[in-house]
Amino acid sequence: MKSEILYPGAFPMVRVYLADGETVKAESGAMVAASPTIDIESKMEGGFLGALSRKMLSGEKFFFQTLRASRGAGEVLLAPTVPGEIVVMDLDGVNEYMVQKDGFLAGAEGVKIESKMQSLTRGLLGGEGFFILKISGTGQLMLNSFGAIHKIELKPNEEYIVDNSHLVAWTSTTTYNIEKASSGWIASLTSGEGLVCRFRGPGVVYIQSRNPGSFGNWIRQFIPVSE
C-alpha cells in the first residue's frame, strides 16, 4: 500500500494505491472515488461488540469501511469530513498512538484500532471524552485534523502545554496531566484557556491549528433561528 496526499492544505485528499488483494480501512464515508477493481465492504473492526463499544464509548463511527482491491490493483481517493490537513505516519509495531475520536481517517490492514478507557480526570477534563482510540500495529496510518496539523517533538522529560481541544494524537510514551491554565481559577476561566494538558516526553504530540468546539460556537451566531 502506498499513499500520496493531494492538494495539501485545507482541503486535501489521500490517494491510496492498493496492490492486488490489499485492503485499507477507512472512516465510514471517507471514500470519495475508487478504481472499478476496488470493492467496498463495511466491516466492524473488533467484531460486533468491539464496534458497538467503539460507537457507544468513543463516539467513533460504528462501522469502518474496508476497501479491498479484490479484482486487481487500483486506487482509492479518501477525504475527511472537516476541512483540515491529513498526516500519514508509518507504524512500526512498537509505536502506539492515542487518537482523539475524530482524528482517524484510514489505516493499512495491519493497523489495529481499539477503544481505550482514560482515567477519570483525563476523561472528565481532557475534552476528548472517557474513551479514545488506541492505534497500534504495522503499516500506514492516516490522521486528519481540523485546520493544519502541527507536530510537537518532545525529548525525554521535556514538557509542553497544549490546550486540550487542540489535541489530535500522541504517542503512548508521553504522559500528560491536566491542569489549570493560570494559577488562579478566575484567571483560568477569563483567559479563555480553562484547562490545559501538560505533556512530558519522550514522544510526539500532534495538534490541530483550529478548535472545532470554538468554531462551532462562532458559527452558531450566523445560523438563522428557525420558527
Partner 1 sequence: MSSIPNALCFGDGLPAAGAPCHVVLSADGLRLIPLEGSQLVEESVAYSALSVAAGGLDHDQLVLSWTTGASARTLYLKDPALIVAFRRTAPPELTASLERAAEHVRRARHSHRLVWGSAVGIVLGLGLLLWFGSDLIVEWAVARIPIEWEQKLGEAVYQDALSKETVLKEGSAVGAVQEMTQRLTDKIPHNPYKFQVSVVQSPVVNAFALPGGYVVVYTGLMKKAESGEEVAGVLSHELNHVLQRHGLERMVKMLGLAAVASIVLGDQQGLIGLAKELGLNLVTLKFGREQETEADVTGIRLLSDARIAPDGMIGFFERLSEKDKARVELFSTHPMSAARAERLKAELAALPKRSPEPFSFDWKNVQESLAKSEPNK
Nearer to partner 1, 74 or 107 (CB): 107
Q: Which is nearer to partner 1, 66 or 173 (CB)?
A: 173
Tell me how long the chain is. Answer: 227
Q: Shortest distance, CB of residue 153 to partner 1, whole angstroms?
A: 3
Dig out the grid coordinates for 212 from the structure: 472545532
Q: How far is the CB of 143 from partner 1 (least distance, A)?
A: 13
The three three-digit cell numbers of residue 150, written as one number? 502541527
Which among 78, 30, 83 has a CA at the least distance from the CA of 209? 83
8 A C-beta contact, residue 174 and residue 203: yes
Q: How far is the CB of 40 from partner 1 (least distance, A)?
A: 32
C-alpha 69/C-alpha 75 separation (Å) is 8
Distance of alpha carbon 213 from alpha carbon 58, whole angstroms: 17
The binding site for partner 1 (CB under 8 A) comprises: 89, 92-96, 98, 117, 119-121, 151, 153-156, 170-176, 201-204
Nearer to partner 1, 51 or 132 (CB): 132
Task: Tell me whether residue 66 or residue 171 sits nearer to partner 1 (CB atom).
Answer: 171
- Report, in Å, the least distance between residue 37 CB and partner 1: 32
